[in-house]
């Protein structure tokens, strides 16, 4: 599953579950010259309210990642989960590591 994180018309961030096509191939255009970025965060690391720096996929490789949005909803992502991050404006979201978290970020080009 891919979890979409986006900004609604009211400036708040929201989640939407997107299903990966079962038998189809999905092609994603990468930003020209962009690389996949790997980052490691210690257990308990917390990032207060912030927006995504760009449209991107964040793929959890190790540990767990808790994402919080303005209405108090929190989602926990496990290794193998993908977050499609689109909340470039508005209040943004919070992020917390549960265990040592390792993620890969892949920039996206909007279609």
> Which CATH class, in words, describes the domain spanning 2-21+31-107?
mainly beta
Partnered with residue 4 across adjacent β-strands are 16, 84
**72/101 Cα distance (integer angstroms):** 22
DSSP for 54-82? SSEEEEEEEEEEEEE-TTS-EEEE-TT-E
Q: Of 47, 27, 22, whose CA–CA distance to 106 is shortest?
A: 27
pLDDT digits (tens, 9 = 90+) for 64-86: 999 999 999 999 999 999 999 99
| pTM, 2 dp | 0.80
Per-residue pLDDT band for 96 (boundaries 50, 70, 90) equals very high
Q: pLDDT tens-digit profile of 37-72?
A: 889 999 999 999 999 999 999 999 999 999 999 999
Q: Count the Cβ atoms, other than its own, within 10 Å of residue 110.
A: 7
| Pairwise pLDDT comparison (67 vs 20), residue with the higher score | 67
Q: What angle do CA 59, 26, 14 make, to 5 degrees?
A: 50
């Amino acid at each position: 599953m891919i979890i979409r994180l986006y900004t609604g018309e009211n400036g708040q961030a929201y989640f939407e579950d997107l299903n990966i096509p079962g038998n189809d191939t999905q092609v994603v255009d990468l930003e020209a010259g962009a690389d996949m970025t790997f980052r490691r965060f210690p257990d308990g690391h917390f990032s207060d309210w912030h927006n995504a720096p760009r449209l991107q996929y964040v793929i959890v490789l190790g540990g767990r990642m808790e994402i919080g949005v303005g209405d108090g909803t929190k989602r926990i992502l496990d290794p193998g989960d993908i977050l499609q991050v689109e909340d470039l404006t508005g209040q943004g979201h919070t992020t917390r590591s549960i265990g040592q978290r390792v993620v890969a970020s892949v920039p996206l080009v909007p279609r």
